[in-house]
Amino acid sequence: MKTLPRNTLLEKNTLPERNILPERNTLLEKNTLLERNTLLEVRDLEISFQGIETVTVLSGISFSIKESETLALVGETGCGKSIVAHAIMNLLPPESRVKGNIEFRGKSLSGMNEKEMAKIRGREIAIIFQNPSLALNPVYPIGHQLVEPLYVHQKEKKKTALFRAALALKRMGFVNFSECMNYYPSWCSGGMNQRFLIAASTILNPALLIADEPSKGLDKKCITELEAELKNLKMERKSALLLISHDLGFVQRLADRIAVMYAGEIIELANSSSLFENPLHPYTRGLLNSLPEKGFIPIPGFSPPLNSLPSGCRFHPRCPLREKRCIRVHPEIKETGERAVRCFLYP
Ligand SMILES: Nc1ncnc2c1ncn2[C@@H]1O[C@H](COP(=O)(O)OP(=O)(O)OP(=O)(O)O)[C@@H](O)[C@H]1O
Ligand code: NI
């Protein structure tokens, strides 16, 4: 096996990291969350899939993410979280139909062709897919997969690219980063591959990282390391994060704001602390009550299939607080102060 040269530069730490990484907005450091620029704006997103029948899987999805902000998308399986991520990356299958608008730095992503989108993917917006083993290429060593985006997007020279790749592994907690460059994904555990994938996704210092269930299948130690790395990305590298997760504890520790989804819609959007201290929507309350520390009380019933949604409020068949109108009328999402909720309890 041909091995990649050892990165002696990195081992001696002769090059400061700052010289290598692309410059970030230093103004940002002075800004509070309120003053930061909006990076991503999703407005009235509606996605349907055409097949034997046309099924609308997402509707009325609106949210924004500011620079270096972490927004989490939470909700039960099948509610549409990953589809939101794939829509942002313009990676939906051909049978999908998209309405609404997705803007990144004020430019519409929806109207971009594949060539324009390829420039944004990886460099400006990166994604960690739900299944890390499928996202890494089994026939190339990790080092190769780390340097490739540097050659393609930044025309980086070999020596610098190898340095940056080893640095990315070092940052992910690999002490033996030089050896790791030569590892194939099949030699490594799920947790190691997850960290390789994060190193690969963040090597270009993207302004926005989408992490789809990054803690899934990891043991407690790996989750703690992952949390530290995601915090580091936010604090030191000023990346914004769209965090998709079932794990509410993980989300609580990382997110600035949380959007709760139910059956293809956002039903509540609030600051992380407000949402956990005072959940408004009966579904959000149910989700929090199902946490182990709140007594593990599950929400009775199941989410409706997206091809046969109930009339009125989509949550009404499971809602302990439903009124007559909830059965007939579909509630709009209403903004109250810094939060938004889709429920007639909050007119
Ligand atoms: N290509 C497709 N054609 C038709 N329906 C699809 C397609 N891809 C996804 N869906 C449907 O869209 C809905 C949302 O799927 P999505 O993967 O976004 O859910 P999710 O919230 O990410 O779930 P999980 O938590 O299990 O990952 C699901 O009901 C799924 O069956
Ligand atoms: Ni998903």
Cβ–Cβ under 8 Å, residues 196 and 112: no
Q: In a 3-state reduction of DSSP, which class is residue 262?
A: strand
User: Using one digit for the tens of pLDDT, what is the confidence trace for 106-129?
Assistant: 999 988 998 999 889 988 999 998
Cβ–Cβ under 8 Å, residues 288 and 252: no
DSSP string for residues in 147-190: HHHHHHHH---HHHHHHHHHHHHHHTT-TTHHHHTT--GGGS-H
Query: What number is the ipTM of this complex?
Result: 0.98
Sheet arrangement for strand 265-271: 125-128, 208-212, 240-244, 70-74, 257-262, 265-271, 339-341, 334-336
Report which protein residue has its CA nearest ligand 1's atom 27.
77
Q: Give, to the nearest 10 degrees, the angle between helix 190-202 and helix 142-154.
A: 10
DSSP string for residues in 204-258: T--SEEEEESTTTT--HHHHHHHHHHHHHHHHTS--EEEEE-S-HHHHHHH-SEE
Ligand 1 binding pocket (C-beta < 6 A) is 49, 55, 57, 75, 77-83, 93, 130, 246, 306
Q: What per-residue confidence (pLDDT) applies to 145?
A: 94
CA–centroid distance, 264 to ligand 1, in Å, is: 9
CA–centroid distance, 109 to ligand 1, in Å, is: 21
User: Using one digit for the tens of pLDDT, what is the confidence trace for 14-35?
Assistant: 333 433 444 444 433 444 556 7
Q: What average pLDDT does the chain have? A: 88
User: Using one digit for the tens of pLDDT, what is the confidence trace for 215-257?
Assistant: 887 778 778 888 888 888 888 888 999 999 988 889 999 999 9
